[in-house]
Structure 1
Amino acid sequence: MSRTWFITGVNSGFGREMAEQLLARGDRVAGTVRKPETVDDLRAKYGSDFWSETLDVTDVPAIHRVVRRAFEALGEIDVIVNNAGYGLFGAAEGLTDEQIRHQIDTNLVGPIQVTRAALPYLRAQGGGRILTLSTYGGQATYPGASLYHASKWGLEGFFDSLYGEVASFNIGVTIVEPGGARTEFRSTAGARMGAEPDAYKDTPIGMIRTVLSDPARIPNGDPAKMVAVMIASVDETPAPKRIVLGSDSYAMIRKALGERLESVEAQRERALSTDYPRAVLQDGNLS
């Protein structure tokens, strides 16, 4: 069954791979990019099956205009994919106010607003799917990625809640948690890093710079295989709330969740001790 997909950021990475796989199998794609010339080849090859629009996902009014135009041009859209985003790394002290705002606006506010703009159309047509690209960094953390984690943990909180909020409208929500993949993510992140205050030079922050700048550190994740799983998930009913992709993602998330659960269990008695005493019956009355 052919579908119509709305995907942010189809110029590179997972978004580009997804658009190519979908178009090659006969689906229609509405894709957004910041530079329209980056998808000239897709327009030339696929014609009307590929609808594109220029969009900066930090521009909220533009998001609503582009989503409206896409539904008006294509009719029903079956799947909304929040893909556009990037990684901001470095010591929290070394980041500028502008870098912080742009990271949150791109990775968190943008997907929220794309989804808010699309929901009335999805409800009106009787359902659909929403896929949102997070990362294992939405469940696990490491030093030097505080703002990136903040954006992705916020993203996961929003879409985890939304899963139950829109289920009665036949709208499925899936959070995708890839590990490292052979895309342009690391090179882009390396070029955007914040300043490194002298006090942090011999701390774990330096490891981030090493990982991003060392060409020998090649991620294990195959973008084509990861995207194929994302696409196939739309056929699953009910929609999977989360999809973990990559051996590193599986290991990191499993470790983080295990440690958090262990910490919670160790606090059971203290947690229960802070409640008001349970009411007891005395002479037939609650006290």
Structure 2
Amino acid sequence: MTQRTWFITGVNSGFGRAMTEQLLERGDRVAGTVRKRDAVNDLSETYGENFWVETLDLTDTADIRPLVDKAFTDLGTVDVIVNNAGYGLFGAAEELTDEQVEDALDTNLLGSIQVIRAALPHLRGQGSGRIIQISTFGGQAALPGGSMYHATKWGIEGFVDAVGQEVAPLGIGVTIVEPGGARTAFRYGSAKLGPAIDAYAASPASFARTMIESGTQLSPGDPVKMAEAIIASADQNPAPKRIVLGTDSFNMITGALTARLADVQAQQDSASATDFPAGE
């Protein structure tokens, strides 16, 4: 087993916490970010110098590059960058406030983009490294009531997909992780809802609101097993482009891609009809 140093955003809960606990237990070093430092006091007390932690709010984008630089300076080498921090914003698009939209974009999309951009010069200098972006099946499939969450995840997947192709010749591997529902605090802890508009009570968008407000639907995914799979991906060479975790994720993604491919393939003739004639 290779000993590594990991930089992980949002290590106080969810996949970030599960990964950090597993990595520290096996002897790896973790540089973690949190919004509230006291949320991980137990990890600092237990693992000492192997756990480097700083506070970071991803919406404060100007703070991201200096903090990433500090992690590399303090630790010497960082082998794996994990963009984990984020949250779900749900409700019909019209129900969301402008402030909610901006915060979701800043956290889930712009924050992740800037973490990667800040890490790339260091990884290039090392001539090696991995970038792991935590996404969701919602980065490939879309459901009513999740328009803004999907916007952030489809956006980050497009960005990371392109970056992976840019840096592959530089010895840097890039992986997108697409989990299904997991029993973390994501759904019934950190998820946010826009103010309800009565007209959408009869819309399919209301399903997301009803599910979150009821707090009773258990997710099928085991976050410990998912964290193990994410960690194991760092040993795969070449880096897997995508990792699908959970039966629900597999079913949602394959269904969405199959339907989209069928829509596109049905337009082959009409698509080519808009080209200039051959030879012109």
Cross-structure match for 1:123: 124
CA distance in 2, matches of 1:126, 1:165: 14
**Residue deviations 1:231-263, cap 9 Å, x none?**
000000110010000000000000000000000
CA distance in 2, matches of 1:267, 1:213: 41
Cross-structure match for 1:283: none
The 8 Å contact of residues 188 and 215 in structure 2, kept in 1 or not, is answered as no
The 8 Å contact of residues 34 and 57 in structure 2, kept in 1 or not, is answered as yes
Cross-structure match for 2:45: 44
Residue pairs, 1:131-210, within 5 angstroms: 131-190=132-191, 192-210=192-210
Cross-structure match for 2:71: 70
* Paired residue secondary structure (1:166): helix
- Aligned residue identity for 1:193: L
- Aligned residue identity for 1:208: A
> 1:187: how far off?
1.4
> 1:56: how far off?
0.5
Residue pairs, 1:1-287, within 5 angstroms: 1-190=2-191, 192-279=192-279
* Paired residue secondary structure (2:152): helix
- Alignment TM-score, normalising by the size of structure 2: 0.98
> 1:216: how far off?
3.2
CA distance in 1, matches of 2:99, 2:210: 24
> 1:189: how far off?
4.7
* Paired residue secondary structure (1:234): helix
CA distance in 2, matches of 1:196, 1:91: 8
RMSD: 0.9
CA distance in 2, matches of 1:108, 1:181: 21
* Paired residue secondary structure (1:5): strand
> 1:215: how far off?
3.6
The 8 Å contact of residues 189 and 212 in structure 1, kept in 2 or not, is answered as no
Cross-structure match for 1:284: none
* Paired residue secondary structure (1:84): coil
Greater than 3 Å deviation, 4+ residue runs: none
Instruction: Quote the sequence identity (%).
Output: 60
In structure 2, stretches of 5+ residues that fail to align are none
CA distance in 2, matches of 1:216, 1:97: 29
CA distance in 1, matches of 2:222, 2:144: 25
CA distance in 2, matches of 1:137, 1:68: 31
- Aligned residue identity for 2:110: V
Aligned residues: 279
The 8 Å contact of residues 135 and 177 in structure 1, kept in 2 or not, is answered as yes
CA distance in 2, matches of 1:96, 1:219: 27
* Paired residue secondary structure (1:85): coil
- Alignment TM-score, normalising by the size of structure 1: 0.96
